[in-house]
Amino acid sequence: MSEGDVKQRRRSGGRAARTAARARPLDEAVRPVRPGLPGGQYRPLSEADVKRINEAALQALEVIGMGKAPASGRKILTEAGATEGEDGRIRFSRSLVEDMLGKAARNITLHGRDPKFDLHLHGTNVHYGTAGAAVHIVDPFTGDYRNPTVQDMYDAARVVQKLGNVHFYQRPVVCREFESSIELDLNTLYGACAGTTKHVGVSFINTHNVGKAMEMLHILAGSEQAWRERPFVSNSNCFVVPPLTFAEESCEVMEACIRGGMPVLLLSAGQAGATAPAPIATAVVQAVAECLAGVVYVNAMKPGHPAIFGTWPFVSDLRTGAMSGGSGEQALLSAACAQMHQFYGLPGGAAAGIADSKLPDMQAGWEQAISNVMTGLSGLNMVYEAVGMHASLLGFCLESLVLGNDMLGQVQRCVRGVEVRDEFVDISVMKQVVLQGPGHYLGHAQTLELMQTEYVYPEVADRFSPKEWVERGQPRLLDTANARLKAILSEDGHQIDPATEAALRASGLPLAELKRPESAAI
């Protein structure tokens, strides 16, 4: 063997070793993107604007107040200092709101069933996840919209478990095979928890269902005490019916969840031009006022209970009155709401990533990306509905969920921003390459060192040259996403151990049977 052959083998072996090292999963601490990256670089509102919105929201609570509180809520609120007028509306003084803001929980942690998925809602830390409660599943190949089932809920959770850029799982679909509310609520919870150990968000139709759900959660956690120490499910609670009206049953559900130790998302989802004022600024005012009423409600009942300030104002296409979740106005609304969360120092959440497009196409791409980038850069703690949602929340697509993971990788790289460190502005490397080296940086040690920590690479998106693309059979992005989806679902992603599964089945709760891969040990 010649000396040249030996050198070539050494070079190849070294390259192969580096390639293998790069293929190994990175330690969480050095990944280029990860849950909880701090945003806050983008601020659509000036400091003066934020203060004016706050003043208007406080005035709305004092003058207009909130209607239709349940009897329990009226008692909780009036005993805390709110007043009930002859018109039945509950009004809140500025001092009461400010007092309850002083008691509200800050810097909260939303737990995963696996602690490595805990979400720390501090400052401007950003987390992306699902949500939406779509009433259809989208087949991107046929264009068909069909009714979702608990199997779809479970499969989506299994996919989210494998997607590193999707940080939590709130129910993206409504399981439409169930006729009773108890079956719907319990199987939604079961399907989500069976598929992922990330933090889960669910809703409940009535307080009875909350009690039954707590039985399930205590079994999953190992005991009631273990559940209360690390509650890994939160209640997404539409406690208001905009404009400025309490949703009585949802308020009662919220009270039951608080008593059960479950974190709550105080969700105000007005639609600008329909159930919220048409000006973007005033839509934010109404959402803030409604959520401030929720802060008073929660902290009057249990000071410091973990609650997310869930200003979720949506947008109408004023030509038709239909919702337009993929609009630039939606991105602005959610980014502005993030600033209001930060003004109060409260953990906040809002909607982004919604596509009006019916399928995962170019329109969906720009609609999903623009709002996810803007809300991330604004420092929104919890970005809900970030992936998979189409037709203005009416449809959910599993392939789009897989594609969205790639998108969120790029989005989070934007949130992370540009790091200017001493070694990056030292011109020694430039001097070496230009004056002494080959005139390019491709093989330089610094380039190789930063390949994985400074840059994000997609899992399914195509970056090949046209020639390489042709040689690979001209793969279509949707086909690649479908192949990735099938690979995930071919594995047994069941996240409940056999003993706990048996305990759930023995409890008498009306749980559906979930289809698992044939290779799975049932």
Q: Is the pLDDT of residue 4 over 60?
A: no
Q: What is the mean pLDDT of the chain?
A: 94
Q: 65 and 90 in contact (C-beta within 8 Å)?
A: yes
Phi, psi of 408 (to 5 degrees): -65, -25
Residue 437 confidence (pLDDT) = 87
Q: Which CATH architecture has domain 102-416?
A: Alpha-Beta Barrel (3.20)
Q: Give the H or E element holding residue 126.
A: strand 125-128
**Stretch 356-360: mean pLDDT:** 97
Q: DSSP for 150-172, please give it.
A: HHHHHHHHHHHHH-TT--EEE--
Tell me whether the omega of the peptide bond preceding residue 148 falls within 30 degrees of 0, making it cis: no
What pLDDT, on the 0 to 100 scale, is given for residue 22? 53
The pLDDT value recorded for residue 520 is: 59
Q: Give 25's pLDDT tier (boundaries 50, 70, 90).
A: low
pLDDT at residue number 31: 84
pLDDT over threshold 90, residue 216 = yes
Q: Coil, helix or strand for 381? A: coil
- Asked if the model's pLDDT at residue 7 lies above 70, the reply is no
Percent of the chain with pLDDT over 70: 94
Q: Shortest CA distance to 101 belongs to which of 419, 456, 340, 445? A: 340
Q: 248-259 and 207-221 are packed helices; what angle lies between their axes, rounded to 10 degrees?
A: 30
Using the predicted structure, report yes or no on whether residue 521 has a pLDDT greater than 80.
no
Max Cα–Cα distance, the chain, nearest Å: 99
pLDDT (0 to 100) of residue 17: 58
Q: Specify whether the CB–CB gap between 304 and 103 falls below 8 A.
A: yes
Question: Model confidence over 141-166: pLDDT tens digits?
Answer: 999 999 999 999 999 999 999 999 99
pLDDT average, residue stretch 338-348? 98
For residue 125, list its beta bridge partners. Answer: 38
Tell me, what amino acid is at 254?
A: M
Half-sphere exposure of 506 (CA within 13 A, CB side): 8
Q: Is the pLDDT at 24 greater than 90, yes or no?
A: no
Q: Above 70 in pLDDT, residue 9? A: no
- Label residue 437 exposed, middle or buried (CB < 10 Å: 0-12, 13-18, 19+): middle
pLDDT for 6 equals: 43
Q: What is the mean pLDDT of residues 211-231?
A: 98
Q: Which helix (H) or strand (E) holds 308?
A: strand 307-311
> Please, which pLDDT band fits residue 253 given cuts at 50, 70 and 90?
very high
Instruction: Report the pLDDT averaged over residues 383-400.
Output: 98
Mapping DSSP to helix (H, G, I), strand (E, B) and coil, where does residue 272 land? Answer: strand
Query: Which of 72-81, 115-124, 301-310, 438-447 is least confident?
Result: 438-447
Quick one: average pLDDT of 357-365?
97
Q: What is the pTM of this model?
A: 0.93
Q: What pLDDT was estimated at residue 10?
A: 43
| pLDDT at site 18 | 54
Kindly indicate the confidence band of residue 170, based on its pLDDT and cuts at 50, 70 and 90: very high
Question: Among 20-24, 75-79, 112-116, 162-166, which is the least confidently predicted range?
Answer: 20-24
How far apart CA 293 and CA 77 sit, in angstroms, is 9
- Asked if pLDDT for residue 23 goes beyond 70, the answer is no
Tell me which of 172 and 25 has the higher pLDDT.
172
CA–CA distances in Å: residue 232 to residues 109, 235, 271: 10, 10, 30
pLDDT score, position 15: 58
**pLDDT band at 11, cuts 50/70/90?**
very low
* b/e burial code for range 112-146 (CB count within 10 A of at least 16 → b): bbeeebbbebebbbbbbbbbbbbbbbbebeeeebe
Residue partners of 493: CB distance under 8 A and separation at least 6: 158, 161, 162, 195
Look at residue 79 and tell me whether its pLDDT is greater than 80.
Answer: yes
Least confident of 95-104, 128-137, 364-373, 452-461: 452-461
| pLDDT tens profile 173-208 | 999 999 999 999 999 999 999 999 999 999 999 999
User: Stretch 354-374: mean pLDDT, rounded?
Assistant: 97
Residue-wise pLDDT tens digits, 445-474: 999 989 889 999 999 999 999 999 999 999
Per-residue pLDDT at 26? 66
